Structure 1
Amino acid sequence: MAIPQTYRAVRFHEYGDAGVLNVEELPLTAPGPGEVLVEVRAAGINPGEIAIRSGATKDLFPATFPSGQGSDLAGVVLAVGDGVEDPQVGEEVLGWSGARSSQASHVVVPAGQLIPKPAALGWEEAGALYVAGVTAYAAVRAVTPIAGDTVAVSAAAGGVGSLVVQMLRARGVRVLGIASQANREWLEGLGVVLVEYGDGLAGRLREAAGADGIDAFIDLFGPEYVELAVELGIPRHRIETVISFEAAARLGVKAEGSAGATSQEVLADVADRVATRDLNLLVAATYPLEKVADAFRDLERRHTRGKIVLIP
């Protein structure tokens, strides 16, 4: 396969809104020992990238300028560095970048951050899978659900939430999905009880839960839901947030995001379940790489059902 001398990558040179994002042409370097060069076919975008780019999490996750962006990726192996036996040139793969670099036409990553792409998995699904898949896996694991439990989930129709509710239902859990009325039909089709967000949410959750109450809470949106879970009297060791780190530390609840579940084994398990349709990974929209700012403006409206994916 021909290897180009340059590649296109999303970059930003200062903190700000989506308007600071640009696609730049840069020299393409060969993979080093243990590394793999991938021609990217699809790369998902995530809310955490908004927080990093805006500077909202700069104390925890500072950016070094100019900064690249992106963790999710799927593509075709173009070259491998010394010592790499698997994957091989020409193989279709999916995986992750730990260097904020996957939103690009090409990316170099360690071989241990890639798995074979199941043939039944489309490029868009594969490219959107890593962050949502392993985060959902970690969030569900954190609250130790068992059949018969009632678990509330905020942002239940989002990229992570749509997988969380399906994983919980597969375990025989009764799920209270906090979302808008626009998502009622889809959530109820999964066996999820829709509880509309907004004023009076605590009362609606108590009513939906019934006499046995809520056993666990997974927050995928913001600190107000962590505070709500505590207010509802849910045991703190069964409250999980993947986004509200300050609230988790202050209130003594769990914050076990993607880092705790990131491995080839977990990613392969989730990929196989999506490929066999045991899980449905929703792709809400696709954008060409050059429209990355528009893609993030879409995501920032916070009403997306499923994932938004960039196509280089």
Structure 2
Amino acid sequence: MRLIEVTRFGGPEVLTLTEAAEPAPGPGEVLVEVAVADVLWVETMIRRGHGGAYFPVRPPYRPGVGVAGTVGAVGAGVDPGWAGRRVVTRTDERGGYLERAVVPAEGIVPVPDGVSLPDAAALLHDGATAFGLLDLVPVRGGDRVLVTAAAGGLGALLVQEVRARGGVVVAAARGPAKLDALRRFAPDVVVDYAEPDWTEQVRAATGGVHVVLDGAGGDYGRAAFDLLLDGGRFSAHGTPAGEFAVPDREATRARGITVTGIADLRFPPDQARRHLRAALDAAATGRVTPLIGQTYPLHRASEAHRALEERAAIGKALLTV
């Protein structure tokens, strides 16, 4: 079986294609013939050795945390009816950038008819996070909502679901290509935060926002915080710009602003599956569509990581197996 391993921290080049023995499911497990593997921004941080306390991974390790595919075999104690079914699932330390994944049967989620396996893989983490985040940071009809990193996999889903819930969406991203990709989802306002006056553009268009869903972090997130109206809600869940933009506690308290951080989005498995099922159902009905900007074959996993790090990726980057 082919898979990707990391034997040392470093750049994308440390993602190495190798071979391993064919896996077999044990009791309570299934074997998934992988069609698509999810790729996350946080995996690039882990690969560089910047996982920190949240992701204390050490080499050698197998990267990848989720796949979509077809159940090829079931272990003892598992309903044989799962065999041949399309599923999406998180993976464990055995990795996710591989041809066949063995996972606990209790963690697999069936993919609804009408949802492709690439779309299911794209929703595995970003869909669950988007729907879970909007449970924690509710959006009411008429709320003006700023989404940063809006052309990312998570951001694009948030743009669509906030609109579906009646919010007025301000989508912020960097560069013409990402802005063009966003327009298919019809946000109310689109701004390029490569422009120095982007916050003034948002303020002129909205007069201030009720909610910020910050997937960018860094200076972008801090600037977005200043656009919040008193009593607003702020989610600091992204780091592509360098760090989580967690605002000053005194400032938030004085202005009555509610803050949600990345720790709040680490849902227990049963809750994460519930949010994932909601995302899959929304995709099946056409309420949301994952923005998949690029796919790479398994042996080119390093290119997927490089695209994310260079901020060249639009929407989701996936590995096809």
Larger CA deviation: 159-168 vs 176-185: 176-185
Distance 2:165 2:135 in 1: 11
**Counterparts in 2 of 1:96-115, with a 5 A limit?**
96-99=90-93, 101-115=95-109
Alpha carbons 2:132, 2:272 under 8 Å: kept: no
Deviation of residue 237 (structure 1)? 6.5
Distance 1:135 1:232 in 2: 24
The one-character-per-residue Cα deviations of 1:174-207 (angstroms, maximum 9, x if unpaired) are 0111113334444344331101103233222211
Alpha carbons 1:42, 1:128 under 8 Å: kept: no
The one-character-per-residue Cα deviations of 1:16-49 (angstroms, maximum 9, x if unpaired) are 1101101111123322222211110111211111
* Match in the other structure for 1:150: 144
Distance 2:299 2:183 in 1: 36
Distance 2:3 2:52 in 1: 22
Query: Which secondary structure state, in structure 1, belongs to the residue aligned with residue 266 of structure 2?
Result: helix
**Counterparts in 2 of 1:239-278, with a 5 A limit?**
239-244=234-239, 247-248=245-246, 251=249, 253-256=259-262, 258-260=265-267, 262-278=271-287
Distance 2:81 2:192 in 1: 45
Larger CA deviation: 119-128 vs 233-242: 233-242
TM-score by length of 2: 0.87
Distance 2:82 2:50 in 1: 39
Larger CA deviation: 288-297 vs 192-201: 192-201
Distance 1:12 1:278 in 2: 38
Alpha carbons 2:296, 2:319 under 8 Å: kept: yes
* Match in the other structure for 1:203: 200
Aligned AA (2:161) = M
**Counterparts in 2 of 1:1-312, with a 5 A limit?**
7-85=1-79, 88-99=82-93, 101-179=95-173, 180-192=175-187, 193-198=189-194, 199-210=196-207, 213-234=208-229, 238-244=233-239, 247-248=245-246, 251=249, 253-256=259-262, 258-260=265-267, 262-312=271-321
Deviation of residue 171 (structure 1)? 0.5
Distance 1:215 1:86 in 2: 49
Alpha carbons 2:146, 2:170 under 8 Å: kept: yes
What RMSD, in angstroms, separates the aligned Cα atoms of the two structures? 2.3
Query: Which secondary structure state, in structure 1, belongs to the residue aligned with residue 78 of structure 2?
Result: coil
Aligned AA (1:215) = H
Alpha carbons 1:71, 1:131 under 8 Å: kept: no
The one-character-per-residue Cα deviations of 1:216-261 (angstroms, maximum 9, x if unpaired) are 1011122323322333344587100223575438657312465227
Distance 1:291 1:53 in 2: 15
Alpha carbons 2:225, 2:247 under 8 Å: kept: no
Question: Could you tell me the percent identity over the aligned residues?
Answer: 34
Residue segments in structure 1 that go unaligned for 5+ positions in a row: 1-6
Alpha carbons 2:68, 2:88 under 8 Å: kept: yes
Alpha carbons 2:131, 2:278 under 8 Å: kept: no
Alpha carbons 2:129, 2:275 under 8 Å: kept: no
Larger CA deviation: 178-187 vs 199-208: 178-187
* Match in the other structure for 2:255: none
Query: Which secondary structure state, in structure 2, belongs to the residue aligned with residue 278 of structure 1?
Result: coil
Query: Which secondary structure state, in structure 1, belongs to the residue aligned with residue 119 of structure 2?
Result: helix
Aligned AA (1:255) = G
